[in-house]
Chains A and B, each alone.
Chain A
């Protein structure tokens, strides 16, 4: 019975390890999901700032596509936020600019963070933003209004079956504790916020 007991203990230990491993697997799914989405573009996230090169501005342009602009205000955000134009006909490879209008109608300084999303997901891999108000937090004084530019181009590798894509921004409030001052050298996409473990609680 002792040999059996040892065998049982070994099996029970292995099974506990399997259970623990699966618990860790659940958490591992979070970065795995991020990587999967980055590679496939399936969840419509755009990733970070693209540096513009001289070649970019003089690139031979390709086919025409339509890009539509959508703006949402997140819960608890006292701003008006809308695109200045609903859509733009652009050519792939051609650098274009659009502006988003924002106005803080609260009676105090408010900081916001815009989170972009591209539909269809497959198009998100081809939309490159050279300059975007979503790279940094935006601050507006009470009553202040602003037009915020986005400088972008649609890469020629956009799948042939996509003729229209949408670029949508949702503006979320940033709690005072997480406001980044201009001295900080933090720049990047919302995924960087996650990596730096900055805490954003939905209000």
Chain B
């Protein structure tokens, strides 16, 4: 059905051919592109929601929306960003780059790969259409706490549950594909400890996905049965306990946030050595640190629940375990810095985003350390201080890493160099925008402004206005990024195969743009 080079193409309308090509592709590069496009569309949608509720928060009082609609927007913003922007972006990068980095012709399970992707547009259609359903969209935060979600959630909650099941299946199948690919399709000579760091971090992330996503599936299934099938997992009157929702959710939720950053760590470990013209410092310790972070991520979930009335011993355990994660994370940060130390550095756009990642993710890590200290978390919990923390680790963390990766590998994908001047403008305006948006949130949070509430006390007004202005600047930078990417796809200075002077790795040995099929015969790795 699909035309090969050696058969006569069927006489189809070009549009039909186009659609069939993209719907039925099993090619890792095309599927990677699909994931990245979906991710960017959802990033813009999630961001637009943020623009809207930031408009409401610009001034105290209610200007544009009801409290309930505000809650719906922030719930969908969280869900779309977590499951629709960050995760698919990293999967898209994995699809594009892992086979090329290990010298494989494609992923191990190409048809499963296609299926994993195409579940997602359907899942997000379900999720986003909840805005137009009677009762409105889910309005209880992306964390779905019972009984707000079970007893008091709108009817659309069931569509959300179904959507989450679908997204979970997509992630789990994708993770299986990645693990089987990495274990089996490495070129001869590429031992595990010779793999690029991006491949290593994705291998570990894939295991986290397989272990954590099913727990989310379990807990939303319990939500569904509590809502409709007479169970009382979370209902005290039936012998259940709302608190167990939080335990099971965060047992998933904490590995989830590491799923959302580990590939970013891998990207930084690829880019910084290239532009510092020095090998990555401490390859082995980077691998072990990532494994340590992943393992520890399963025993710290209670730090999201410090204010629920847990006994002292429990609070202490979670506090110590959480602070412990800072150690391997610190090892990684020090190794990136050590890579740059006495390096021969240039500051092209990918490097700017990578260094911005290291600096500002670390800032987010510091607010995380503050939150880890259980007694003071009682002050910070459910305030904008948490919002500041999570956005610093997610925006300059996951998003900057993704953008760095896109700038870094776009010449390989398209054969064209992006516009360097525009790229730098994008970077610097994003830095200004995100810091103007999220840094003030530390202060209003410490001063007591609660999160997930549409209105706030008058003293918080000034900084909230700054944050809204910053958010709009940040929103505009996305359009600039879109323009840069489209411009690069359409043309630009021709890229060489090597692209970057000091780039190492198998992906730089194939032509730019990368041909549809690469490494049909595996290369020999020293």
Where the two chains meet, the residues of A that have a C-beta atom closer than 8 Å to any C-beta of B are 4, 7-8, 11-12, 15-16, 18-27, 29-30, 33, 37, 40, 42-43, 74, 113, 115, 121-122, 170, 172, 190-194, 198-202
User: A196: nearest residue on chain B (CB-CB)?
Assistant: B239
CB distance from B208 to the nearest CB of A (A): 11
Which chain A residues lie closer than 8 Å to B311 at the CB level? 40, 42, 121-122
Q: Are A8 and B180 in contact (CB under 8 A)?
A: yes
- Closest CB of chain A to B149's CB: distance in Å? 12
Known: A23-B217, A29-B247, A194-B232. A15 touches B238 (CB 8 A): no
Contact between A29 and B235, CB atoms less than 8 A apart: no
User: Which B145-171 residues sit within 8 Å CB-CB of chain A?
Assistant: 147, 150-151
Q: Name the B residues within 8 Å of A25 (CB-CB).
A: 214-215, 218
* Residue contact B238 to A199, C-beta cutoff 8 Å: yes
B438 in contact (CB, < 8 A): no
CA distance in complex: A158, B237 (Å): 27
Q: A26-B218, A194-B240 are in contact. Are A15 and B180 (CB under 8 A)?
A: yes
Take A11-B179, A11-B184, A26-B248 as given contacts and tell me if A19 and B214 are in contact as well, using a CB distance cutoff of 8 Å: yes
Distance (whole angstroms) from the CB of B113 to the closest CB of chain A: 12
- B180's contact among A11, A37, A113, A201, by CB below 8 Å, is which? A11
Residue of A11, A29, A113 near B248 (CB, 8 A) is A29
Residue picked from B147, B150, B217, B232, most chain A C-beta under 10 Å: B232
Closest 8 CB pairs of A and B: A26-B218, A200-B238, A199-B230, A172-B237, A194-B239, A23-B214, A22-B214, A190-B239
Seen from chain B, the residues whose Cβ lies within 8 Å of a Cβ on chain A are: 108-109, 147, 150-151, 172, 175-176, 179-180, 183-184, 210-219, 222, 230-233, 235-241, 243-244, 247-248, 251-252, 310-311, 314
Interface contacts beyond A11-B184, A172-B237, A202-B232: sample of 20 additional A-B pairs, CB < 8 Å, sorted by A: A4-B184, A8-B184, A12-B180, A15-B175, A15-B180, A15-B210, A22-B210, A22-B214, A23-B218, A26-B222, A26-B252, A27-B218, A30-B222, A33-B244, A40-B311, A122-B311, A172-B236, A194-B239, A200-B232, A200-B239
In the assembled complex, the CB of A48 is this many whole angstroms from the nearest CB of chain B, namely 12
Contact of A15 among B176, B218, B222, B232 (CB under 8 A): B176
Looking at the assembled complex, report how far the CB atom of A176 sits from the nearest CB atom of chain B, in whole angstroms: 14
Report the separation of the CA atoms of residues A92 and B515 in the bound assembly, to the nearest whole angstrom: 81
Kindly state the separation between the CA atoms of A191 and B236 in the bound complex, as whole angstroms: 10
Shortest C-beta distance, A67 to chain B (Å), equals: 19
CA distance A89 to B440 in the complex (A): 51
Bound complex: CA of A16 vs CA of B218, how far in Å?
Answer: 15
Q: List chain B residues, Cβ under 8 A from A40.
A: 311
Shortest A184–chain B CB gap in Å is: 17
Given A29-B248, A202-B151, A170:B236 Cβ within 8 A? yes
Inside 8 A of B240's CB, which chain A residues have their CB? 194
* 8 sample A-B contacts, Cβ–Cβ < 8 Å, listed by A number: A7-B184, A22-B214, A30-B222, A42-B314, A115-B236, A190-B238, A194-B232, A201-B235
User: Could you tell me the distance in whole angstroms from the C-beta of B94 to the nearest C-beta in chain A?
Assistant: 16
Report chain A residues within 8 Å CB of B184: 4, 7-8, 11
Nearest A residue to B230, CB-CB: A199
Closest to A201 in B: B230
- Checking B176, B183, B216 against A16 with a beta-carbon cut-off of 8 angstroms, the contacting residue is B176
Q: How far is the CB of B231 from chain A (nearest CB, A)?
A: 8
Knowing A22-B215, A121-B311 touch, does A29 contact B238 (C-beta < 8 A)?
no
Contacts of A43 in B (CB 8 A): 241, 243
Task: Specify the chain B residue showing the minimal Cβ separation from A13.
Answer: B176
A4, A26, A122: residue with the most chain B Cβ atoms closer than 10 Å: A26
